[in-house]
Amino acid sequence: MIVTLRKLSYEDLKKKLKKEDKIVIWSCNNCVKFCNGLGGREAMARLKEKLEKDGFNVIHTELIGLSCVLDLVHLRALEEPTKTIFEEATVIIPLACEDGYENLKHVFKDKRIIDVPLTVGLGVFSTEFGALRLTVPFEDTGIEAKVEGIPLEEVAKKLGVYAGPF
């Protein structure tokens, strides 16, 4: 499973938004859901609630199985009812891996796609530890692999990023 962390704090995210933006929160319902709850339906709902409480205009939340599959992302731009929603949107906040982020940039060229994800490697869900752990870090992270895996909070701290939802 792909392991993805957040580059931004909630305060950093808000600085990238304008009150007049028409925001779509986009989330996968697969890998990122298991990355300490970075994505999935609940993470989208919490982020929407926080943003709206802070005066931002969230017009839609979009849950997709896999943002890393370009054809699935592309269908959202072509088919109703999402086509009309995305035509209206000005900003998309992806709760997805870097591949999903790149697919959103490719499909929705006229939208601001906030650069949230940092994909750091592969991991497994450990029944022993009750959480997803990083087992195969990407080389550019500088993190050494451990057979038992590395907790995502520890990985985030080493890389100066954030684990879990906004």
Q: For 58, which DSSP code?
A: E
Helix, strand, coil percentages (3-state) for the chain, rounded to 5, are 35, 30, 35
**CB-based contact 5:156 (threshold 8 Å):** yes
Task: Tell me if residue 142 falls in helix, strand or coil.
Answer: coil
Q: For 67, which DSSP code?
A: T
Q: Judge: domain 9-117, CATH 3.40.50.2300.
A: yes
- Residues paired with residue 134 on neighbouring β-strands, in sequence order: 123, 150
**Mean pLDDT in residue range 125-139:** 83
**Mean pLDDT in residue range 131-149:** 91
* pLDDT computed for residue 102 by the predictor: 97
* pLDDT computed for residue 124 by the predictor: 87
Render pLDDT for 16-65 as a digit per residue (tens, 0 to 9): 999 999 999 999 998 888 888 899 999 999 999 999 999 999 999 999 98
Q: For 36, which DSSP code?
A: T
pTM equals 0.93
* pLDDT computed for residue 148 by the predictor: 87
Dihedrals φ, ψ of 156, to 5°? -60, -45
Alpha-carbon gap, residue 143 to 35, rounded angstroms: 17
Sequence ranges of the domains in the chain:
9-117, 119-159
**CB-based contact 88:81 (threshold 8 Å):** no
Helices (H), 7-151: 10-15, 41-53, 70-78, 82-88, 98-107
Cα dihedral 89, 112, 52, 7 sign: positive
Alpha-carbon gap, residue 127 to 125, rounded angstroms: 6
* pLDDT computed for residue 110 by the predictor: 96
Token pair of 157, please? 């701290």
Q: How many angstroms from the chain centroid is the CA of residue 152?
A: 15
Render pLDDT for 69-126 as a digit per residue (tens, 0 to 9): 899 999 999 999 999 999 999 999 999 999 999 999 999 999 999 999 999 999 988 7
* pLDDT computed for residue 130 by the predictor: 66
* pLDDT computed for residue 104 by the predictor: 97
